[in-house]
Amino acid sequence: MSTMVNFVSGPLVWIALVTFVVGTVVRIVLMIRTIKLDKTVLPAMTVKHSLRSIFFWTLPYGSRSMRTRPFFSGLSYLFHLCLLALPLTVMGHAVLWQQAWGIRWWSLPSGVADVMTAVVIFAGGIFLLRRIMSPEVRNVNTWRDYVILVIVLLPFVTGFIAYHQWLDYRTIIILHMVSGAVWLMAIPFTWLQHMFMFFFSRAYMGSEFGAVRNARDW
Amino acid sequence: MAVADPGFDLALAKLTPERIEQVINSVLSQAVAERMKLFLKTCVHCGLCADACHTYLSRNRDPDFAPVAKVRDTLGVMLKKKGRVSPEFMKNAARVAFIECGGCRRCSMYCPFGIDIATMIMTIRRICSLLGMVPQFIQDTTNSHSATSNQMWVQPDDWIDTVMWQEEDAQLEVAGLRIPLDKEGAEVMYSVIAPEPKVMAQLIANIAVLMTVAKVDWTMPSADGWDNSNMAMFSGDLEIMGRIEREHWERALELRVGKMVMGECGHAYRGAVYDGPKWLGWQGPPLPMVHAVELYYDLLREGRIEITDKLTEPVTIQDPCNIVRGRGLHEKLRYVVHALCDNVVEMDPKFEHNYCCAAGGGIINCGAPWKMARLKSIKIKATQLKKTGASLCITPCHNCHHGVVDIIGHYHIDMRTSFLIELIVKQMKIPEGLGV
C-alpha cells in the first residue's frame, strides 16, 4: 500500500504535470501554426477587441446569453471559480508543497474549502442531470461527454470524502491522487482544453464581431 | 420535409461516393477546415446555442435543429468519416446548410466560446457547390451573376432603360431631376441590387429624389458592376463571388468616386465589405462603403433633408443581421426611424440580439420548393412581430423585407412593411423651386 502511495504522490504527479504542460503547449503551438495557414484570421485580430470580448464573457452575467439563464450561469460561474481555486489553495495541497519543495503558500481556511468543494460537486451534479434531462443537450452528448464530466468531478468527490475521513482514508486518498492526475492529463486531449482555448476562440470571435464588423459579441 | 428540387435530385443521380470523398477532402484539407476542427474540439456540447437559433425555437425545440446538432450531423460526420459519405447524406447536409441555416451568426453570440458556426455551415455550402448540389433557384442566380454579372438576368440595355424610365418618373416629384450615369469624379457612386430594376424599380426613383433634394453629388454606373448583390457568396461559388465583388469595386474606381453608397440591403454590404475583399486578398474595401441607413443618418443630422410629416401609427423595426450584428448600425437606424415615426415599438429582443428573418443568407433565394420549410422555421419571428402590435414593420434590407412580407402573409399578421426610403420621400419636404 505504501509503495502505491509513494507512486501516486511521486512519479504519477510528475507524469500528470508533464503531460498537462507539454500537451497544452503542443496544442497551442499547433493551433497557432494552423491559424497562420489561414491568412485571413490573424490580420483581422486586434488586442482591444479580443480583450473586450474576453472581459465581457468572464464577467458574471456579462453577456445576454448568461443573463437569459440566471441560475445556470451563476452556478456555472461558481463552479468554474471553485474548480480553479481549490487545487491551488486547499490546505492539504499547500502542506504537500511545503514538504516537497519548501514553498510556503497561502491556503484557504478548511471550512471555506469544504463548502467550495461541495459547490463543485453540487454544480457538477446539476450539469450531469442537465446533460441527461435536457433534450437539446442529450441529443449531442455521447458517452465521452459523461466520462469527461466524471473525470472532472472525481477528484473533488474523493477530496471531499478524504477531508471528512469517511470510508478508508488511505484508499480514498490514493483514488483522489489518481483521479487528479487523470484530470490533469485529460485537459489537452478532450474538450477540457476549453480551459485555454476559451481565450483564443473568444479573441477570434471578439475581433470578428468588433474589429471587422463593428458590433458587440456579448 | 424532403421536397423535390432539381438542384438536389439531379445532382444526387450523378454523384458518386468517390467524387464526394475527393471534394470534401479537398475543401477540408485547407486551412479553413483546421479552424473548424479546432472549434469542434473546443465545443463542450453544452447546448447553449440552441436557444439562440430561430429554427430550433420555431420548430417546437426539436433538438436536431439546434446549431450544434446541425454541425454534428453534417460537417461533424464528414470529418469523422474522412469524406466517405453517401450522396443521400450529402443531400441532407445540403438541405440543412441551405435551408435550415442562413448564417445569421446569432448562435455565436450565445456560445460561451464564440464558436463560428456560420462559417462551418458556409463551408458545407462550399462543398455542395463544388459537388453541383445546390438548390436550383439559388444556382440560377449564381449562373446569372456569372453570365450577366447581375443577379436577375438584367440585360445591359434593360438596366439603362430602367434608370431612364425611373428618372422620368422621379421628374414627376422633382422638376428637372437627373440620374447622372457614369459621372466621373462624383462624390458618391450609388449601387443597387438587381431585384430593384427587375421588380422594384420605384426604389431607384425614390433614391434619385432624395439625392437631388439633399444635393448629393452622385452617379450610377451604366456598365456591369452596378449590381451590388452577391448570391454566389451564399451558393458557395466563391470564384464567382470574388469576381463580381471585384467588378463592383472596379466600376467605382474607374469612375473615381469618393465613396460607394448602397441601397437598403444587408448581404450586399457583407459581400462588398467583408467576404469579397477577404477572398480577393485585400485588407479591406478600396473605398469607403456607406450603407443607406448611414447615408440617411448623415443627411438628417446635417440638416440636408427635412422631415415635415411624421407617422403616428405604431411602427416596429427589423434589425437586419448583416448591418446590425454585422455592422453595428442599430443606433443610426433608430435615429432615422425616430425622425420619421412618433410611435416606435421595439421588438424583443432587439439590436444585435434580434432574430433573423430566415430569408437572408440565401434561404429565400432557394425559391418556391423551400418556402414552406422556411416559414415553418421562422414561427418565432411571427410571434415576435405580433407581440409588438405594430401596423408597420420597417425593413432596411431586401431580404428582411421579403422575408417579413412572407411571414405576415403566412401567419396572418395585420402588418405591412416598408423600406426607409419609401417613408423618407413621402415625408420629407421638397424645397420650393424643386417642386413640380
The partner residue sitting opposite B42, judged by closest CB among A38, A140, A194, is A194
What average pLDDT does range B17-38 have in this prediction?
87
B289 CB within 8 Å of a chain A CB: no
Find out whether B259 and B188 touch, Cβ atoms under 8 Å: yes
Name the A residues in 155-194 with CB < 8 Å from any B CB: 191, 193-194
- The CATH number covering residue A21 comes to 1.20.950
Q: pLDDT, tens digit, for every residue of B231-263? A: 999 999 999 999 999 999 999 999 999 999 999
User: Is A180 inside a domain boundary?
Assistant: yes
Cell numbers given for B362: 440565401
C-alpha distance from residue B307 to each of A80, B208, B337, B384 (Å): 54, 17, 11, 29
Q: pLDDT, tens digit, for every residue of B36-93? A: 888 888 999 999 999 999 999 999 999 999 999 999 999 999 999 999 999 999 999 9
Q: Would the pLDDT of B30 be above 80?
A: no
Find out whether A160 and A121 touch, Cβ atoms under 8 Å: yes
Interface test with A, best of B32, B36, B45 (most A CBs within 10 A): B45
Shortest alpha-carbon distance between residue B281 and chain A (Å): 8
Interface test with A, best of B29, B30, B44, B294 (most A CBs within 10 A): B44
CB contact under 8 A, B44 and A217: no
Name the A residues in 125-144 with CB < 8 Å from any B CB: 131, 134-141
Shortest alpha-carbon distance between residue A61 and chain B (Å): 12
Q: pLDDT, tens digit, for every residue of B105-148? A: 999 999 999 999 999 999 999 999 999 999 999 999 999 999 99
Q: Would the pLDDT of B206 be above 60?
A: yes
The partner residue sitting opposite B34, judged by closest CB among A34, A134, A191, is A34
**What pLDDT sits at residue B333?**
98
- Structural element, H or E, at residue B261: strand B259-262
- Classify each residue of B82-115 as buried b or exposed e, where b means 16 or more C-beta atoms within 10 Å of its C-beta: ebebebebbbbbbbbbbbbbbbbbbbbbbbbbbb
Q: Would the pLDDT of B317 be above 90?
A: yes
What average pLDDT does range B2-24 have in this prediction?
93
The partner residue sitting opposite A137, judged by closest CB among B42, B46, B283, is B46
- A194 contact residues in B (CB cutoff 8 A): 42, 44, 113
User: Is A218 inside a domain boundary?
Assistant: no
The partner residue sitting opposite A136, judged by closest CB among B47, B281, B352, is B47
What average pLDDT does range B366-372 have in this prediction?
96
Domain that holds residue A114: 2-212
Mean pLDDT score across all residues of chain B: 96
Closest-CA residue of chain B to A200: B113
User: Is A217 inside a domain boundary?
Assistant: no
Total domains, chain A: 1
**Domain annotation for chain B: domains and CATH numbers:** 6-134 (1.10.1060), 149-299 (no CATH), 305-427 (3.40.50)
CB contact under 8 A, A38 and B35: yes
Shortest alpha-carbon distance between residue A47 and chain B (Å): 16
Shortest alpha-carbon distance between residue A143 and chain B (Å): 12
The contacts of residue A183 (CB under 8 Å, 6+ apart) are: A151, A152, A154, A155, A192
Give DSSP secondary structure letters for A34-94.
Answer: HHHHSTTTGGG--HHHHHHHHHHHHSTT-SHHHHTSHHHHHHHHHHHHHHHHHHHH-HHHH
- A216 contact residues in B (CB cutoff 8 A): 328, 352
User: Is A48 inside a domain boundary?
Assistant: yes
Q: What percent of chain B has pLDDT over 70?
A: 100
The partner residue sitting opposite B353, judged by closest CB among A64, A139, A193, is A64
- ipTM computed for the complex: 0.93
**What pLDDT sits at residue B1?**
57
CB contact under 8 A, B109 and A65: yes
Q: pLDDT, tens digit, for every residue of B267-316? A: 999 999 999 999 999 988 999 999 999 999 999 999 999 999 999 999 99
B187 CB within 8 Å of a chain A CB: no
The partner residue sitting opposite A202, judged by closest CB among B63, B113, B352, is B113
Q: pLDDT, tens digit, for every residue of A44-91? A: 899 999 999 999 999 999 999 999 999 999 999 999 999 999 999 898
Name the A residues in 27-66 with CB < 8 Å from any B CB: 31, 34-35, 37-41, 43, 53, 57, 63-65
> Cα(B137)–Cα(B8) distance, rounded to whole angstroms?
11
Closest-CA residue of chain A to B353: A64
Give DSSP secondary structure letters for chain A.
Answer: -HHHHHHHHTHHHHHHHHHHHHHHHHHHHHHHHHHHHSTTTGGG--HHHHHHHHHHHHSTT-SHHHHTSHHHHHHHHHHHHHHHHHHHH-HHHHHHHHHHH--------HHHHHHHHHHHHHHHHHHHHHHHH-HHHHTT--HHHHHHHHHHHHHHHHHHHHHTT-S-HHHHHHHHHHHHHHHHHHGGGSGGGHHHHHHHHHHHHHHIIIIIT-----
Cell numbers given for B424: 423618407
What average pLDDT does range A180-207 have in this prediction?
95
CB contact under 8 A, B47 and A137: yes
Q: Would the pLDDT of B405 be above 70?
A: yes
What average pLDDT does range B381-385 have in this prediction?
98
CB contact under 8 A, B274 and A68: no
Q: What percent of chain B has pLDDT over 90?
A: 94
Interface test with B, best of A139, A141, A147, A187 (most B CBs within 10 A): A139
- A52 contact residues in B (CB cutoff 8 A): none
